[in-house]
Amino acid sequence: MKIFLDTAVLDEIRTAASWGILDGVTTNPTLAAKAGRAFQENILAISEIIGERATVSAETVSLEAEAMVREAKLVTSWAPNVIAKIPCTPEGIKAVWQCTKAGIPTNVTLVFNATQGLLAMKAGATYVSPFVGRLDDTGQNGMEVVEQLAQIKRIYGFTTEVLAASIRHPLHVIEAALAGADIATMPFSVLMQIVKHPLTDAGLERFLKDWQTISPELRPF
């Protein structure tokens, strides 16, 4: 499963990129507002940090297909690894289909059930993003949509990648992997949670203490 960071904060992206495990970044207007920089400048900076094998999703904000396509063309012209993020509305699906025909990669966002996701796949989206945490917040099982979309993709051979979004905690990451998600996008805080374990810290402390009991001339470092 690919790992994306759901953030527009450059330091967070730099840290994850330096570990060599970062496959991409998703942003949205809320995250862009928090970054506090010019949108294009920030997307370009992210694009450069993550390198050409990873992608960064930049969201369109118009509500009509024609304008969405215009914005999608613009953001994807900034760098080859920029993906146009388009909301799953009737106009959005229409825009995605136009983008597919024009060779513009898209990430269909704000997907809350498998039928919306199916339409995104049929329109030729590069990624489809079911929002797990926001569904869980309403008392529905968000991961079920990820599972259903992964299954639909398998049955019909769609090339769209299922991107589990709105990930809130480590269990979501494990469940997304087991559900067959191609990608999970997570906040930096969740990435830090999945890399750490208290038993790793305790074990390391003990090893370092015991190492010091070996006399210095018997140690290579």
Positions that interact with ligand E4P (CB under 6 A): 6, 26, 28, 109, 129, 131, 133-134, 165-166, 185
Residue among 41, 81, 83, 38 at smallest CA distance from 59: 83
Options 85, 122, 153, 196, the catalytic residue: 85
How far is the CA of 9 from the CAs of 19, 25, 32, 101, in angstroms? 16, 10, 9, 32
- Residue with smaller CB distance to ligand E4P, 130 or 216: 130
Residue 216 DSSP code: G
- Residue with smaller CB distance to ligand E4P, 118 or 132: 132
- Residue with smaller CB distance to ligand E4P, 130 or 205: 130
How far is Cα 196 from Cα 206, in angstroms, rounded to an integer?
Answer: 16
What is the β-pairing status of strands 183-186 and 161-164? Answer: parallel
Handedness of CA 173, 175, 177, 183 (dihedral sign): negative
Instruction: Find the radius of gyration of the CA atoms of the chain.
Output: 20
Q: How far is the CB of 132 from ligand E4P (least distance, A)?
A: 8
CB 173 within 8 A of CB 162: no
Q: How far is the CB of 103 from ligand E4P (least distance, A)?
A: 22
Residue among 69, 113, 79, 17 at smallest CA distance from 4: 17
What residues have CB less than 8 Å from 170, skipping those under 6 apart? 190, 193, 194
Our answer to whether residue 94 is catalytic in this structure is no
- Residue with smaller CB distance to ligand E4P, 137 or 205: 137
- Residue with smaller CB distance to ligand E4P, 94 or 169: 169
Query: Hey, which residues are catalytic here?
Result: 85
